[in-house]
Amino acid sequence: MTATAHRRHSRRVTLRARGRGRAPELSARLDLRVLAVLAGAAAGILAAFVVGVGHGDFPIPPAEVLATLVGQGTAEHEFIVLELRLPRVLVAILVGAAFALSGAIFQSLAQNPLVAPDIIGVNAGAALVAVSVIVLGFPLGLLAPGAFLGALGAAVLVYALSYRRGLSTYRLVLVGIAVNAAIGAGISYLLTRGEINDVQRATVWLIGSVYASDWGDVRLLGLALLALVPAAVALGRHLEALQLGDDVARAIGAPVERARLALVVVGVALAALAVAVAGPIGFVAFIAPHIARRLAGTSGAGALPTSIAIGALLVLAADIIAQRALAPTALPVGIVTTLLGAPYFLYLLQRANRLGRAV
Amino acid sequence: MAELRAEGLTLAYDGTPIVHGLSLEVPPGRITALVGPNACGKSTLLRGLARLLRPRDGMVHLDGQAIQRLPTKQVAQRLGLLPQAPIAPEGITVADLVGRGRYPHQSWLRQWSREDEEAVERALRATRTEELRDRPVDELSGGQRQRVWIALALAQETGIMLLDEPTTYLDLAHQVEVLELLAELNHAQGRTIVIVLHDLNQACRYADHLVALRAGRIHAEGPPAEVVDAGLVREVFGLECRVIDDPVTGTPLCLPLAAGRRRRNDRVAATTPRGAE
């Protein structure tokens, strides 16, 4: 087998391998800037990981964190690291990755940077069920699966209402905004009817937090992402075709309807999972793909893995800030992401106005 | 050579038929221009030929096979389409956009082969957009942008290219530039080109085969010199005109019999008493 790697343009490396005889040539093209962003984000996640696991009311030095992770720590450290902090850190990473990937998919599909699962009703569907469970006194065990079904239900509703001889992303977004508003009204109604303690609990859930995550959450998210991330990356080629508009996409031979449906399903599943575990952590799905595109300089398939990495780093870092900012009072992570996200949103709008086009 | 043929094709939008039982054989290796008044169905026909619209009745054949039954990727290796005023993803560079035309030749395992690279280089060279390769498409002028989209269709390396009004929104110099490019591609590479054009005179200059549509049916077809005369323009466009030989190319040139600015001079002449001369 022969393999070659060469650079033709400044940013791209092409890898090619040819098998013996009639085996087909394999080829892939890597974007150096995408790789650089992924490496940087990975380093950031690692650093935040060490801080997240080591710091807290009971600080543990990095060396001992490491020892504990490989099974050489004291029983006390083991409990704090493995049972309390590690699941929380991992859930922050996984939830951030899921929200960000979902947002990246929807933004690319809609060719509109202001679109995210928060906006088209997916998170609201989850929230309606979650708030109902809390306020109407259903068993709390129903919260996560109920939220998941709520997100899917809202997505199905939006999909059914916007389907007309094919799915137009434009209609999907408009219908989504309407469904989002309607569900929002339902949530407000429930909050005005509930007992004050329940309402407070529901409000914390609505902000989104990774507090009290356990290994069950980690496993659930981990397994789901193990299926959904490769699916999304595999669909990246089709996503790039769809970005050219339906006519061009069809003309170059992309399975337009099927690819779009598959991407919407993956995007909804990612958001539904994340919101079921952590609540609708604000602005992550919106902001992470933006930062990723800006850093990686691409809106193509390369924006998917970079969004995942940036989203993971964003939620993890935000959660660390949320725990420390007003210590000893810990805040839900959603407050921090919203505080970071809202000004960024305004900045983008202002820039869009100046440039006279969508962001 | 790639062969495209429509048989009894009826195309409809939302149940309203636009093209009625139309049969057309696209001459291989030639430039065919579709002309006709607004809403005569020329763009619809083009979309039907490119299998973007499912026919209500009739069929489109590509190399003797029913196009709707061929795998879409196989069709895309033989037939390309440039729709009217396509929009590029924000921030995409010229080389990246043109590279996306290679989609039908790629797969999961073959994401960027040597052929892909060479096809993109050829397309950039043919459209003279090599210098622009690293520029964002948003920053280009209208004419440059249209050349880049044509490069995308070229990189697809299809024997047949369909273009829907590729000169819309371009100024006169850029219109000529785009049409010259298409003529050159047809001449040098023998590609079959079907083009929807608004301007009858441009169609006469560049087309080998002219198809005049009216109300979803073919009114006349053939070499421009044989089909275009005052009668045709009256029947198809409802316009009185005189047709002369284009002094530059010898092809038919349609001059509308409208007063234009002469009206003012006529009025002056009319108010001048004859005896005063």
The pLDDT tens digits along chain A (359 residues) read: 455 555 555 577 888 887 666 666 788 888 889 999 999 999 999 999 989 988 877 888 888 888 888 888 888 888 888 888 999 999 999 999 999 999 999 999 888 777 788 888 889 999 999 999 999 988 888 888 899 899 989 988 998 898 887 677 778 888 999 999 999 999 999 999 889 999 998 998 899 999 888 999 999 999 999 999 999 999 999 999 999 998 999 999 999 989 999 998 999 999 999 999 999 998 999 999 999 998 988 878 889 999 999 999 999 999 999 988 887 788 899 999 999 988 988 887 787 676 655 44
pLDDT at position B277 over 50: no
Sign of the Cα pseudo-torsion (A202, A204, A209, A213, in order): negative
CA distances (Å), origin B269, targets A45, A283, B258, B260: 86, 73, 17, 15
**pLDDT tens, B20-56?**
999 999 999 999 999 999 989 999 999 999 999 999 9
Chain B residues 41-60 within an 8 A CB cutoff of chain A? 47, 50-52
* Measured distance CA(A128)–CA(A150) in Å, rounded: 7
What residues of chain B lie within 8 A of the CB of A297, using their CB? 91
| Residue A162: predicted pLDDT | 87
Between B153 and A81, the more confident residue is B153
Chain-chain contact of A253 with B80 (C-beta, under 8 angstroms): no
pLDDT at position B264 over 80: no
| Residue B41: predicted pLDDT | 93
Beta strands in chain B (DSSP E): 4-13, 16-26, 31-35, 57-62, 65-66, 79-82, 160-164, 192-196, 209-214, 217-222, 241-245, 252-256
| DSSP string across A29-59 | EEEHHHHHHHHHHHHHHHHHHHHHHH-SSS-
pLDDT at position B276 over 70: no
Collect all residues from A whose CB is shorter than 8 A from any CB in B.
8-10, 14, 16, 24-29, 111, 234, 237, 240-241, 243-245, 247-248, 250-255, 293, 297-300, 357-358
**pLDDT tens, B167-223?**
988 889 889 988 999 999 999 989 999 999 999 999 999 999 999 999 999 999 999
With contact defined as beta carbons under 8 Å apart, do A37 and A295 qualify? yes
| Per-residue burial over B101-116, b = 16 or more CB atoms within 10 Å of its CB, e = otherwise | bbbbbbeeebbbbeeb
Chain-chain contact of B50 with A27 (C-beta, under 8 angstroms): no
ipTM of the complex: 0.89
Chain-chain contact of A253 with B92 (C-beta, under 8 angstroms): no
| Residue B275: predicted pLDDT | 47
Chain-chain contact of B83 with A25 (C-beta, under 8 angstroms): no
**Mean of per-residue pLDDT scores for chain B:** 91
Residue B274 DSSP class: G
CB pairs under 8 A between A and B: 101
| DSSP string across B89-115 | PTT-BHHHHHHGGGGGG--SSBSS-HH
Residue B27 DSSP class: P
pTM of the model: 0.89
